[in-house]
Structure 1
């Protein structure tokens, strides 16, 4: 007998269906089809949970033996609503993907017999007992980052994964034997965090604005903690827009669009102290004549004004803003041992795109102003996330200046203790 057309279609339909018993344990437990993609199936990636394809073979066989009554460790740390981690990392024109955002390498699970993920608990413990104390020196801010930030992360998983990634970055700087392991942990948690956050950032509201602000700050610490790379000048890069500039711009944008929600909400302890200090010195529209800070820079600005430099007004505005940061760091009273982190970064957040472009084009006056900012950065050199940046920036600035303008950066060079090359 010759099968009819309908029968043929039914047979073809049945034959095209690929059955497999090799799906991950999460999909089997939920009784849904697993596409078996490696290193993690699509369902686990979509729900931001740990896929047991990432486990070593011995652990995978145990995980797939049958359903478990306990939730997976990643499910205990992150909610399982769909589409949390569907978005791709946004890239700006001219920017390049960063290796630290690469999620192709994920750490193997260290799940113990109790069902707890020891690797995640180790990172969370280290964050609360160590990393949180290294971000700011003010006790109130330390308590906020140790207690309140993780609490916000329980409702917004991208914050929590960001904190775990930052803890892994911190550990990788000091544990030589496990440096590669912690770097993989950092990349794994950051991959989840960035995918989740980018799916939320296009819909900023009063509920998620504080979490997104925290996430941008965490991202800045992680980017700085990764250390400088060739061609990276913090505010610009040789290959276009640098990630630090994007992060600073994101923080500034969030503050401007959600200012009331931030300063009157849970983030008030982190935003208001810096804002009050800035208000104390913002009434000046130029570097005061009596100020000892930036004395030589003021003379340089007077010289280019006589020469009618077309960017003279821009340089004067940026230099005055830099003086504000100098006043916040060196003139405002601080308790002994407290690092004035807010004062240092005020200048970066207020920096205009026009000045950044002048610096990127290696215009000498812009580079001289930037060199004077390095003196402020040097006050944070003891922080693990700032190691190596000051000398890296000063070296790049010095190489970009001709002999006429190198004399104008002698004071910053002496202040930070950097030694120029002899040739």
Structure 2
């Protein structure tokens, strides 16, 4: 006769009060599990610039996120946005993922503001990873705002300000970053460059923008001239850096310009001053050259559509080069 094996007491049906109803701690949130799975298996690979950095995004970031709700919500928001881009834009799932991404994004920012008052040796890794997760969301969300350019521009400006605010929190930990496992996520095209003292080369492809800078000197007061001049200077440096690499520009390189333009330039942009919009259109060219990343697809065209709509007709000749680079023809109208 077969010998029966007794069930271990730990696996027997419980007879205590625990059997009276489900333990809330055991309730599964299948949607969030699905998002985490998609992020670790798929999305993380799209954020990495090489196989070495992929491990950091897929493993280290998620492990860190389990201890910091603001980072975990940011991961869930990114995964939901990525899934939305894999669905047909008119599908129900696409819209549901967009809504889900926004909810996690809002929760992420709320928890960050509530729980982070300063940065120190205990939390700088989580804050750095959080700052990195904001940019892909910022880019994708700017395209997911429909055809209302007024709303899209407002959304862009608010995310631009958010990206700029988070960055100074981690700059003081640069040496720690480079000597830690997080140094692997820093792309080569931003390493070894002192942006504060670098000089632009005598010749760049931004020929028209340099001519525009000369015109600006004759039209505006010193504060605007300086703001535009420095924004153009940094953009030239970023373009040259991008041209010196065999790979497409990394999103880290794209963020350099966002980080370094002056507060005065951002003010002028929020006021829709023509010069600030013209410079933004040239920045969009760099984004167009980085569109191998799913979260950058359509961003350059959206920024160009915004600038084309808001720049007065007498200034639009300065947009011909960005239009040629992004659309292939300066007379091609914006896509809808």
* Fold match by TM threshold 0.5: yes
Classify 1:342/1:220 alpha carbon distance in 2 versus 1 (closer, same or farther; 3 Å): closer
Tell me the residue number matched to 1:66.
21
Structure 2, unaligned stretches of length 5 or more?
1-16
Classify 1:259/1:158 alpha carbon distance in 2 versus 1 (closer, same or farther; 3 Å): same
Q: 2 CA distance for matches of 1:270 and 1:253?
A: 18
SS at structure 2 position matched to 1:317: helix
Structure with greater Cα Rg:
1
Kept in 2: contact 1:224–1:385 (CA 8 A) = yes
Per-residue CA deviations over 1:299-350 (Å, capped at 9, x if unaligned) read: 221233355653223222111100111012222333xxx5522222210111
Per-residue CA deviations over 1:1-54 (Å, capped at 9, x if unaligned) read: xxxxxxxxxxxxxxxxxxxxxxxxxxxxxx9xxxxxxxxxxxxxxxxxxxxxxx
Name the structure, 1 or 2, with higher relative contact order (CA <8 Å, separation 6+).
2
Give the 5 Å matches for 1:326-337. 326-334=239-247
SS at structure 2 position matched to 1:249: helix
Q: 2 CA distance for matches of 1:395 and 1:184?
A: 24
Q: CA RMSD in A?
A: 3.0
Tell me the residue number matched to 2:123.
208
Q: 2 CA distance for matches of 1:363 and 1:161?
A: 36
Give the 5 Å matches for 1:110-125. 111=28, 117-125=29-37
Q: 1 CA distance for matches of 2:294 and 2:176?
A: 31
Shift in Å at residue 274 of structure 1?
A: 5.2
Classify 1:213/1:307 alpha carbon distance in 2 versus 1 (closer, same or farther; 3 Å): same
Q: 1 CA distance for matches of 2:20 and 2:81?
A: 35
Pick the structure with more helix per residue: 2
Q: 1 CA distance for matches of 2:103 and 2:316?
A: 44
Kept in 2: contact 1:227–1:387 (CA 8 A) = no
Tell me the residue number matched to 1:137.
49
SS at structure 2 position matched to 1:227: helix
| Residue from 129, 144, 150 that aligns with 1:231 | 150
SS at structure 1 position matched to 2:193: helix
Tell me the residue number matched to 1:170.
82
TM superposition score normalised by structure 1: 0.64
| Count of paired positions | 307
Q: 2 CA distance for matches of 1:189 and 1:72?
A: 22
Shift in Å at residue 174 of structure 1?
A: 1.8
Q: 2 CA distance for matches of 1:316 and 1:396?
A: 22
Kept in 2: contact 1:162–1:219 (CA 8 A) = yes
Structure 1, unaligned stretches of length 5 or more?
1-30, 32-62, 74-110, 112-116
Kept in 1: contact 2:285–2:322 (CA 8 A) = yes
SS at structure 1 position matched to 2:131: helix
Kept in 2: contact 1:158–1:192 (CA 8 A) = yes
SS at structure 2 position matched to 1:169: helix
